[in-house]
A and B are shown apart, each in its own frame.
Chain A
Amino acid sequence: MPGAAPPPETEVVAIGREIAAALPAPGRHPVQAIDTRAMDLTSRDAELKAALFRFVDVVPACRSVDDLAAHLVGFLGEVDSQTPPLRAAMKMGDSRAGRAALGTAAAAGVKHMARRFIVAEDPGAARRTLRRLWRDGTSASVDLLGEATVTTAEADRYAARCGEALDALTAIYGDVPARPRLERDGVGALPRANLSVKVSALTPLLKPDAPAMGQRDAAPRLRELLRHARDTGAHLHVDMESYDSREAITDLVIDVLSEDEFRDGPSAGMVLQAYLRDGGELLDRVLAWSAAHERTPPLTIRLVKGAYWDHEFVEARQHGWEPPVWEHKAESDRSFEALTLRLLDARPAVRVAIASHNLRSVAHAIAANRASGGDDAGLELQVLRGLGDDLGHALAQLGHRVRVYCPVGDLVAGMAYLVRRLLENTSNESFLAEQARGAALDDLLAAP
Chain B
Amino acid sequence: MSPLEPFRNEPLAELRRGTERARLDDALALLDARLPLRVPVWVGTDRREGDALPSTDPGAPDRVVALAARATTGDVDAAVAAARGAFPAWAATPVNERADALVGAAAWMRGRRAELAALCVRECGKPWAEADADVAEAIDFFEYYARGAIALAKRPPQLVQVPGERNTLRYAPRGVCAVIAPWNFPLAIPAGMVAAALATGNTAVLKPAEQAPGCGLMVVEALRAGGVPAGALALLPGEGDAGAALAEHPDVTTIAFTGSGAVGLGLLRAAAAKPPRAGSLTRVVAEMGGKNCVLVDADADLDDAVPAIVHSAFAYAGQKCSAASRVLVHEAAADALLERLAGAVEVLPVGQPSEHGTVAGPVIEREAQERVARYAALAADTGRVVTTRAAPAGGWFAPPTVVTDLPADHPVLHDEIFGPVLAVEAVRDLDEAMDRVDALPFALTGGLFARNPRTIERVTARSPVGNLYVNRGITGAMVGRQPFGGNRLSGTGTKAGGPDYLLQFVEPRVVTENTMRHGLVVD
Residue numbers of A with Cβ under 8 A of B are 54, 57-58, 61-63, 67, 70-71, 74-75, 77-78, 147-148, 150-154, 204-205, 207-213, 217, 243-244, 247, 319-321, 416
From known contacts A74-B453, A208-B15, A208-B16, infer whether A150 and B306 are also in contact, taking CB-CB under 8 Å: yes
Chain A contacts for B9, CB-based, 8 A: 320
State the main secondary structure of chain A at its contact with B. Answer: helix
Of B298, B306, B344, which one neighbours A63 at CB under 8 angstroms?
Answer: B298
Distance between Cα atoms of A243 and B455 in the complex (Å): 33
Chain B interface residue number, banded? 35 or more
Identify 14 new A-B residue pairs, CB closer than 8 A, beyond the known A71-B452, A204-B344: A57-B301, A61-B300, A61-B301, A74-B452, A74-B454, A75-B453, A150-B306, A150-B343, A152-B346, A207-B357, A209-B15, A210-B358, A217-B347, A320-B12
Distance between Cα atoms of A105 and B479 in the complex (Å): 45
Of A71, A147, A153, A205, which one neighbours B303 at CB under 8 angstroms?
Answer: A147
Interface status of B10 (Cβ within 8 A of chain A) = yes
Interface status of B383 (Cβ within 8 A of chain A) = no
What are 23 A-B contacts with C-beta separation under 8 Å?
A58-B301, A58-B451, A61-B451, A63-B298, A63-B299, A70-B452, A71-B299, A75-B453, A147-B303, A150-B310, A150-B343, A151-B347, A154-B340, A205-B349, A209-B129, A209-B356, A210-B355, A210-B356, A213-B349, A243-B16, A244-B16, A319-B11, A320-B9
Chain A contacts for B390, CB-based, 8 A: none
Chain A contacts for B356, CB-based, 8 A: 209-210
Distance between Cα atoms of A204 and B349 in the complex (Å): 11
Of B10, B342, B454, which one neighbours A320 at CB under 8 angstroms?
Answer: B10
Chain B contacts for A243, CB-based, 8 A: 16
Interface status of B307 (Cβ within 8 A of chain A) = yes
Distance between Cα atoms of A58 and B298 in the complex (Å): 11
Contact A205 B347 (CB under 8 A): yes
Chain A contacts for B299, CB-based, 8 A: 58, 61-63, 67, 71
Interface status of B8 (Cβ within 8 A of chain A) = yes
Mask, B272-312, CB within 8 Å of A = 1, is: 00000000000000000000000000111111001100100
Chain B contacts for A58, CB-based, 8 A: 299, 301, 451-452
Contact A150 B340 (CB under 8 A): yes
- Which of chain B's residues 309-357 have a Cβ closer than 8 Å to chain A? 310, 332, 339-340, 342-344, 346-347, 349, 355-357
Q: How close is B333's CB to chain A, nearest CB, in angstroms? A: 8
Q: How close is B478's CB to chain A, nearest CB, in angstroms? A: 9
Chain A contacts for B18, CB-based, 8 A: 211, 247
Interface status of B14 (Cβ within 8 A of chain A) = yes
Distance between Cα atoms of A211 and B346 in the complex (Å): 19
Distance between Cα atoms of A213 and B390 in the complex (Å): 19
Chain A contacts for B344, CB-based, 8 A: 150-151, 204
Distance between Cα atoms of A151 and B339 in the complex (Å): 9
Q: How close is B121's CB to chain A, nearest CB, in angstroms? A: 13
Contact B343 A152 (CB under 8 A): yes
Interface status of B21 (Cβ within 8 A of chain A) = yes
Chain B contacts for A209, CB-based, 8 A: 15-16, 21, 128-129, 356-357
Contact B343 A204 (CB under 8 A): yes
CB-based nearest A residue for B21: A209
Mask, B9-46, CB within 8 Å of A = 1, is: 11110111010010000000000000000000000000
Chain B contacts for A321, CB-based, 8 A: 11-12, 14
CB-based nearest A residue for B305: A150
CB-based nearest A residue for B310: A150
Distance between Cα atoms of A57 and B358 in the complex (Å): 32
CB-based nearest B residue for A152: B347
Distance between Cα atoms of A78 and B456 in the complex (Å): 12
Chain A contacts for B358, CB-based, 8 A: 210
Distance between Cα atoms of A153 and B306 in the complex (Å): 15
Chain B contacts for A244, CB-based, 8 A: 16
Contact A320 B11 (CB under 8 A): yes
The 8 A-B pairs at the shortest CB distance, nearest first, are namely A210-B357, A151-B343, A320-B11, A208-B16, A209-B15, A148-B303, A74-B452, A61-B299
CB-based nearest A residue for B24: A209
Contact B451 A154 (CB under 8 A): no
From known contacts A207-B357, A319-B12, infer whether A153 and B128 are also in contact, taking CB-CB under 8 Å: no
Chain A contacts for B306, CB-based, 8 A: 148, 150
CB-based nearest A residue for B306: A150
From known contacts A54-B451, A147-B303, A207-B349, infer whether A247 and B16 are also in contact, taking CB-CB under 8 Å: yes
Distance between Cα atoms of A148 and B14 in the complex (Å): 23
- Which of chain B's residues 485-521 have a Cβ closer than 8 Å to chain A? none
Of B12, B14, B343, B455, which one neighbours A153 at CB under 8 angstroms?
Answer: B343
Contact A319 B303 (CB under 8 A): no
Chain A contacts for B454, CB-based, 8 A: 70, 74, 77
Distance between Cα atoms of A204 and B342 in the complex (Å): 13
- Which of chain B's residues 342-398 have a Cβ closer than 8 Å to chain A? 342-344, 346-347, 349, 355-358
Residue among A57, A67, A150 having the largest count of chain B Cβ atoms under 10 Å: A150
CB-based nearest B residue for A203: B347
Distance between Cα atoms of A321 and B349 in the complex (Å): 26
Distance between Cα atoms of A243 and B358 in the complex (Å): 20
Chain B contacts for A211, CB-based, 8 A: 16, 18
Distance between Cα atoms of A67 and B340 in the complex (Å): 24
CB-based nearest A residue for B452: A74
Contact B347 A204 (CB under 8 A): yes
Q: How close is B131's CB to chain A, nearest CB, in angstroms? A: 12
Chain A contacts for B342, CB-based, 8 A: 151
Q: How close is A287's CB to chain B, nearest CB, in angstroms? A: 20
Contact B451 A57 (CB under 8 A): yes
Chain B contacts for A54, CB-based, 8 A: 451
Contact B303 A416 (CB under 8 A): yes
Distance between Cα atoms of A57 and B301 in the complex (Å): 9
From known contacts A75-B453, A319-B14, infer whether A63 and B332 are also in contact, taking CB-CB under 8 Å: yes
Q: How close is B322's CB to chain A, nearest CB, in angstroms? A: 18
Chain A contacts for B357, CB-based, 8 A: 207, 209-210, 212-213
Distance between Cα atoms of A338 and B453 in the complex (Å): 45
Chain B contacts for A151, CB-based, 8 A: 339-340, 342-344, 346-347
Q: How close is B25's CB to chain A, nearest CB, in angstroms? A: 12
Chain A contacts for B355, CB-based, 8 A: 210
Q: How close is A414's CB to chain B, nearest CB, in angstroms? A: 12
Distance between Cα atoms of A77 and B454 in the complex (Å): 9
CB-based nearest A residue for B128: A209
Chain B contacts for A154, CB-based, 8 A: 340, 343
Distance between Cα atoms of A154 and B453 in the complex (Å): 30
Distance between Cα atoms of A210 and B353 in the complex (Å): 12
Q: How close is A447's CB to chain B, nearest CB, in angstroms? A: 32
Q: How close is B267's CB to chain A, nearest CB, in angstroms? A: 36
Distance between Cα atoms of A282 and B455 in the complex (Å): 45
Chain A contacts for B16, CB-based, 8 A: 208-209, 211, 243-244, 247
Distance between Cα atoms of A58 and B358 in the complex (Å): 32
Distance between Cα atoms of A208 and B18 in the complex (Å): 10
Contact A320 B8 (CB under 8 A): yes
CB-based nearest B residue for A51: B453
Chain B contacts for A147, CB-based, 8 A: 302-303
CB-based nearest B residue for A154: B343
Chain A contacts for B452, CB-based, 8 A: 58, 70-71, 74
Distance between Cα atoms of A319 and B132 in the complex (Å): 13
Of B298, B340, B349, which one neighbours A61 at CB under 8 angstroms?
Answer: B298
CB-based nearest B residue for A245: B16
Mask, B427-453, CB within 8 Å of A = 1, is: 000000000000000000000000111
Chain A contacts for B129, CB-based, 8 A: 209
Chain A contacts for B307, CB-based, 8 A: 148, 150
Mask, B54-90, CB within 8 Å of A = 1, is: 0000000000000000000000000000000000000
Chain A contacts for B303, CB-based, 8 A: 147-148, 150, 416
Residue among B10, B16, B306, B357 having the largest count of chain A Cβ atoms under 10 Å: B16
Distance between Cα atoms of A153 and B342 in the complex (Å): 11
Chain A contacts for B347, CB-based, 8 A: 151-152, 204-205, 217
Distance between Cα atoms of A147 and B342 in the complex (Å): 16
Chain A contacts for B14, CB-based, 8 A: 319, 321
